[in-house]
Amino acid sequence: MRYPLVALILVACGKAAAPPIVETTPVATGSAAPVVAPDAAVAPAPPAPPPGQHATLADALAAIIPADARVVGFGELHARVDRAQVKSALSLFTTALPSLGDKFSDLIVETFIVDPKCGQTAQKATQQMQTEVKRPEATKSEIALLADAAKAAKIQPHAMTLSCADYKALVPNGQIDPLAMLTITTRELKRIALSAVAHRDKDAAHRPWIALYGGALHNDRSPDDAVKEWSYAAAVDTATKGRFVEVDLIVPELAAADANSKKQPWFSLVETAGDWVQVFKRNDRSFVVVLPRTK
């Protein structure tokens, strides 16, 4: 299963209260007796997930990403204004990032900052892409929160760079060209990933992993012939000597409404999705992570 991602613009447990400590009254015996308090009640442990499932996305990623991974390509099934309004994969990934932060040196996000030098051409192309892809308005702030989380973990965030010629190619006749969008996106993600690998490999003490986050098309290790030109996975896998890992993050409410998802071998996990994170293993370096349902 693969889903194209279009460009966006880069611009978020309670505990039961313990009962109060009750102090005993000292007894006069010639010398003051110590004040003794009963032990505070211990809050019950949270329920454990069933075997093979995980309490959080961070736990699942820690369990499935091989220790020798070099680049991890995360792909999502996108939130849209015409789909169920539920907790996004992007927000859950942002929450998970601090737990894995010391593993990642770089985070490449499938987004771009509008270049003011390209004037109205860039502005028009950006506005048309926003309309075409039907992303919720909240996606912009979620990308910003992801960038903030990366910086807090001392991870270098990267966005795609579009030239003025790219903007013209995206809207050649007043309408978005989806094939041009896929081609430019793939080119940029691959360029940045290969550059980050080459740069970090010069330092023997670098953090082990580089992350890419985008749509579940460009990270495909085994794409169909019809779409393989839009996957960066083969080039990155070659550059890292077979150490590229594909991880798709699936929101069950979105997959349940998607015809292509229903054809996938992992769809039974969507049907049983509940409070826990489930994992479908394609092979040692390709995984589908089905996220919990929004309560």
Locate 51 and state its tokens.
């075997």
Q: What is the DSSP string of 207-255?
A: -SEEEEEEETTTT-SS--TTTGGG--HHHHHHHTTS-EEEEEEE-HHHH
User: Is the separation of the CB atoms in 175 and 37 below 8 Å?
Assistant: no
User: Is the separation of the CB atoms in 7 and 110 below 8 Å?
Assistant: yes
Q: For residue 86, is it within any domain? A: yes
Q: For residue 8, is it within any domain? A: no
Q: Which residue has the tokens 């993050």?
A: 249
CA distance 92 to 89: 5
Q: For residue 153, is it within any domain? A: yes
Radius of gyration of the chain, Cα coordinates, nearest whole angstrom: 24
Q: If DSSP codes are grouped into helix, strand and coil, which group holds residue 165?
A: helix
Residues 6 or more apart whose CB falls under 8 angstroms from that of 165 comprise none
Q: For residue 7, is it within any domain? A: no
Domain count, the chain: 1
pLDDT of the residue at 34 = 54
pLDDT of the residue at 141 = 83
Amino acid at 122: A
Q: For residue 272, is it within any domain? A: yes
Task: Look up the pTM and report it.
Answer: 0.82
Task: State how far the alpha carbon of 168 is from the alpha carbons of 110, 182, 187, in Å.
Answer: 19, 14, 16
Taking only the tens of pLDDT, the chain with its 295 residues reads 444 444 443 333 333 333 333 333 344 444 455 555 555 567 777 788 988 899 999 999 999 999 999 999 999 986 666 677 889 999 999 999 999 989 999 999 999 888 888 988 888 888 777 767 666 666 778 999 999 999 999 999 999 999 999 999 998 888 889 999 999 999 999 999 999 999 999 999 999 999 999 999 999 999 999 999 999 999 999 999 999 999 999 999 999 988 999 999 999 999 999 999 999 999 999 999 999 999 8
Q: For residue 197, is it within any domain? A: yes
Question: How do strand 156-160 and strand 286-290 relate by DSSP bridges?
Answer: unpaired
Q: For residue 52, is it within any domain? A: no
Locate 242 and state its tokens.
């077979």
pLDDT of the residue at 232 = 98
pLDDT of the residue at 140 = 75
Reduced DSSP (H G I as helix, E B as strand, rest coil) percent helix, strand, coil of the chain, to 5? 35, 15, 45
Q: For residue 42, is it within any domain? A: no
Domain hosting residue 125, numbered range: 74-290
